[in-house]
Structure 1
Amino acid sequence: MSFDNLTLNPKTVAAIPSQFDKPTEIQQAVIPTIIVGKDVLALAQTGSGKTLAFGLPLLNNINHDVNELQALVIVPTRELASQVAESLEPIATALNNNTITLTGGVNADDQHQQLLTKPQLAIATPGRLLAVIKSGELELAQCVSLVLDEADRLIDMGFWPDIQAITEALPAKRQSLLFSATLPPELVNQAETLLSNPEKITTHQENSVVETIEETLYLVNKGSKAQALIALLNQNQWPQVLVFIGAKDNADALTKRLNKAKISVSALHGNKSQEERAEALESFKNGETRVLIATDVMARGIHIDQLPVVINFELPSHSATYVHRVGRTARAGSAGCAISLVSHIENEYLNAIRTLTNKPLPLQSLEGFPVTDKPASESTVRKRPPKDKMANRRTAKKKSIKQFKSKPNSSK
């Protein structure tokens, strides 16, 4: 099938970059439905081509006689906003459609000047978008299409109150489109409040990992993970490696370990300035940096067409995050490798991932790294000392909440 068969007008088809010679499965499934104005709940794996799946019909349907915002794409992070904009702007320019990207970390005066050009399509993160709406800088009366990209992550990251405030400012009569790689129960509940008689479209098993990803899980001691990672990097000639880690501080510590081992590495996390984040990402994309260590929030917009391997230095506490992480490799039909370093203490997370993905994900031993840590069990959990029990009894006797002195919150 070609893009000509998807009810797109000839100008839109002509504007599609030449590297996209035929539509992906999700594009074939959703583009005709979006063009006719129906609401959609689409399950689309990372790397399946979902940006064009919603972007092409949105740009196709823009009315050039209306010089106001007509379509809005909301994404969870700045990096993903930049990625979506990078994919859609060449097509929008060819169609004479005016677009804008609204994110934090960017000069507000510059964005104000862009808003004066009356964009017809906006790609935005929730916080900055809501601020622009409240300031009255963005006219929403003609906005007839709303897209929530990576809707599951918008919920995970606590953006739903902002989403609700944004949707209340939009016209009641509009088209709403939700794209998500996973379908947690809370997303189903929120989708019911946002969508009107939607068409549910899925081109893969719910919560599944792309078939072309080879998943390998090594059981290692918790304290041996850094050395195990260094060994894997030295044994393999991967040109680019994306390493996922949970905490910002741990990302910096691991970066130092790899630097000492003479491995080209940088870190990407929320404590970095926008300029530092953009520099680290660009250095990784162009091959100057071999290894990028990233927290989950920062990795949302990382798009490398031929990224050969993703390594989970730590398993995520949310099982759906695993699907997103490994989906950074094997994009657009290519093959990829996902490696996880797992310690006994992460067994609960591993079982949740197995349940979600419906895969056995067996643990293997890593040569040179014998496991000496013991599995956690009830018999190995130490009983609390008597003084802790006494403290609990004293606490229980307190008559009023006023007797508790709260400690000031420490900034993270």
Structure 2
Amino acid sequence: MAFSVFSLNPKVLAALPEAVIEPSRIQQLAIPAVLSGQDVLALAQTGSGKTYAYGLPILQRISQHSTSVLSAVVIVPTRELAVQVAQNLNLLAQALGLRVEHACGGEAIECQIERLTTPANLLVATPGRLLALVQQGVVEFTHVQSVTLDEADRLLDMGFINDIKMLIAMMPAGQRVLFSATMPAVLTQLAQQILSATHVRIEAQVLNSAVDDIAKVVYHVNKGSKAQALIHLIDLHQWRQVLVFVNAKADADTLCKKLLKAGVKAAALHGDKEQVLRSQTLEQFKSGQLSVLVATDVLARGIHIDALPVVINFDLPAQASVYVHRIGRTARAGLTGVALSLVSHSELAYLEAINTLTTQALPLNELAGFAVTDKPLSGSSKRAPRDKQANRRTMNKRSASDFAKRKPTR
């Protein structure tokens, strides 16, 4: 199948990157539905081509109507995704004489206000910054025909639901499009509230599944051995580009220091880093100046890194759906990749939840040279109930004694 079957403007098709030859599964299913103006709920794995799946038809629809006002809004959860989506769509928009802008935190709002003095036809924004621009009267939704929530599940699990509802309430009736890789209950509730009863539901793959082209490996290691195990694996396989996920910002910095000490070219990336530094670090990683990027989930969704071979979960995420998004950074656009997880005893419950969500049984493997000596967590490690009761009795006696010693006050 070729993109020409969708009756899209030949100019926008000519502007597609050379590597984009045939529409992906989600593009085949979503482009006709979005192009028709219907409300759409699309579920597709990360890295499957979602940006073009909604971007191409939305730009086509804008070009057929007024081209001097804000006609479409795309709401995304992170700064990096806002920049990336805007860049990808702007290349196509220019072919149609349209303008795409982005607005997000991490950049002075004054700069964005200045750019928006020339109206954009499509605005890609994070919720908080978009709301601020609307409240200041910089952005008006009067002529908005379409609003898209990209990575909708991430928007909600990051706590943006109130901002989303406020923004949508400000917009005129029009097309509502939701794209997501997973379908948590909170997203189902939001979909029922903002989508029409006749909306189209598209599932490009089994719900909540991970990409088949990813080789998934799980190593059972001691919690205190993880850093050395990671360094060992990097040396063993001579990986030139590895994205490592941790759960906490402080842990990202700590692990990065250990990698640097071991002679690994690494950098940490998380929400406490200044936006300029975040952008520079990401570009250094993409260009190969850094071999390891240690990141929190600020990067788990939406960021495309060409031919990224390996993703490692240094910590398993507490939410199983986050695992799906993390490993989706590799094996993008039909390529293959490796997703490796280092799992300690305390994370076995997280692994079980991931197995349940993805309907895949990920077996625990031993890593040569890193025998598991930690003891499993069990009730036997806790103090016996009678000991707790004895402790409470002692505390009660002390309290009574202390009370008896106090002088009465008036």
TM-score range (shorter-chain normalised) is over 0.9
CA contact (8 A) 1:73 1:122 kept: yes
Q: Distance in 2 between matches of 1:166 and 1:391?
A: 57
Residues 393 and 320 of structure 1, relative CA distance in 2, 3 Å threshold: farther
Residues 81 and 390 of structure 1, relative CA distance in 2, 3 Å threshold: farther
Q: What does residue 410 of structure 1 align with?
A: none
Q: Please say if 1:10 is aligned against 2:1.
A: no
Q: Shift of the alpha carbon at 1:9?
A: 2.7
Q: Distance in 2 between matches of 1:392 and 1:342?
A: 39
CA contact (8 A) 2:142 2:171 kept: yes
Q: Distance in 2 between matches of 1:352 and 1:242?
A: 23
Q: What does residue 342 of structure 1 align with?
A: 343
Q: What does residue 156 of structure 1 align with?
A: 157
Residues 366 and 52 of structure 1, relative CA distance in 2, 3 Å threshold: same
Q: Distance in 1 between matches of 2:88 and 2:271?
A: 24
Query: What is the correspondence of 1:192-207 to structure 2 with a 5 Å cutoff?
Result: 192-196=192-196, 197-207=198-208
Higher alpha-carbon Rg: 2
Amino acid at match of 2:34: I
Task: Please report the TM-score for the alignment, with normalisation by the length of structure 1.
Answer: 0.92
CA contact (8 A) 1:68 1:139 kept: no
Q: What does residue 376 of structure 2 align with?
A: 375
Amino acid at match of 1:179: F
Query: What is the correspondence of 1:237-256 to structure 2 with a 5 Å cutoff?
Result: 237-256=238-257
- Runs of 5+ consecutive residues of structure 2 not aligned to the other structure: 398-410
Q: What does residue 41 of structure 2 align with?
A: 41
Q: Distance in 2 between matches of 1:111 and 1:156?
A: 26
Q: What does residue 402 of structure 1 align with?
A: none
Q: Shift of the alpha carbon at 1:387?
A: 7.9
Question: Pairwise CA RMSD of aligned residues?
Answer: 1.7
Task: Please report the TM-score for the alignment, with normalisation by the length of structure 2.
Answer: 0.93
CA contact (8 A) 2:46 2:301 kept: no
Q: What does residue 285 of structure 2 align with?
A: 284
Q: Distance in 2 between matches of 1:95 and 1:389?
A: 75
CA contact (8 A) 1:270 1:298 kept: no
Q: Shift of the alpha carbon at 1:386?
A: 5.1
How many residue pairs were aligned?
Answer: 393
CA contact (8 A) 2:219 2:342 kept: yes
- Percent identity of the aligned residues? 52
Q: What does residue 406 of structure 2 align with?
A: none
Q: Shift of the alpha carbon at 1:238?
A: 1.3
Query: What is the correspondence of 1:2-401 to structure 2 with a 5 Å cutoff?
Result: 2-63=2-63, 65-171=66-172, 173-196=173-196, 197-383=198-384, 385=388, 389=392
Structure 1 residue matching 2:201: 3-state secondary structure: strand
Q: Distance in 2 between matches of 1:393 and 1:361?
A: 49
Q: Distance in 1 between matches of 2:221 and 2:15?
A: 50
Structure 2 residue matching 1:347: 3-state secondary structure: helix
Q: Distance in 2 between matches of 1:61 and 1:130?
A: 25
Q: Distance in 2 between matches of 1:263 and 1:253?
A: 14
Q: Shift of the alpha carbon at 1:24?
A: 0.7
